[in-house]
Amino acid sequence: MKWAAAQVTLAFCIAALLLLVALPAKAGNQQYEPLEASVRTALAAAIQNVDLPEPRFKDSKEKVDWLTKMSLRLMKRKPDYRQRIDFLKIVHYEASRAGLDPHMVLGLIEVESGFKKYAVSYAGARGYMQVMPFWTKLIGDGDPTKLFDMRVNIRYGCTILRHYLDRENGNLFMALGRYNGSRGKSEYPNLVLGAWRKWEDKPTPGVSIPLKPQYGELHQ
């Protein structure tokens, strides 16, 4: 019995180790920082659920073209078609809502979690965008298990990155470093920018400043 129990324990430890090893080496580790009351209120409002996400495109052709192209690129990571389309719609909606380029967010997710919904880093960051649990206490309802929900995780991640961009006065390099807990170092921002280029239809022209957030939508 003892031998069998030891085998089970060993198997569990190996499985847990493999789960961690499977994560990208640069998974996020946002650092806890006290927030001013006004900032905290604005961020809390930004993550509140509103209408079901439906990405906005110029017309139906642009929508179909984008979803088709991105879906083909994502197929190996997410074989299920319906899940893939739902994921892409949420990414496009939440990124645009926060004033971010959806292709950049896809690149960040690739670097952070490798598109693994239940990814957990050594630091405890969770989900697609590797959000640290303390954010749920700062600006959410305090339930970190919700970070494994696809829409909740991506909304948190986009809101946090937008917050960091604003703090860094639009400096994407510094904002990405802050998101990863490596502010001022080049390795992580360069990884995200490289992944961003792969997802874009055209090469990224250097380190450009993302779009401004749609504040009307953020505070609905």
Task: Give tens-digit pLDDT for 55-84.
Answer: 788 889 999 999 999 999 999 999 999 999
pLDDT confidence tier of residue 116, bands split at 50, 70 and 90: very high
Q: For residue 137, is pLDDT > 70? A: yes
pLDDT of residue 210: 47
When computed from its CA atoms, the radius of gyration of the chain, rounded to whole angstroms, is 18
Q: What share of the chain is helix, strand, coil (3-state, %, to 5)?
A: 60, 0, 40
Q: For residue 213, is pLDDT > 70? A: no
Distance CA 197, CA 154 (A): 20
Share of the chain above pLDDT 70, in %: 75
Distance CA 192, CA 204 (A): 11
**CB within 8 A of 3, min separation 6: which ones?**
none
pTM: 0.78
pLDDT of residue 182: 86
pLDDT, tens digit, 9 for 90 and up, residues 191-201: 999 999 999 86
Distance CA 165, CA 176 (A): 8
| CATH number assigned to the domain covering 2-218 | 1.10.530.10
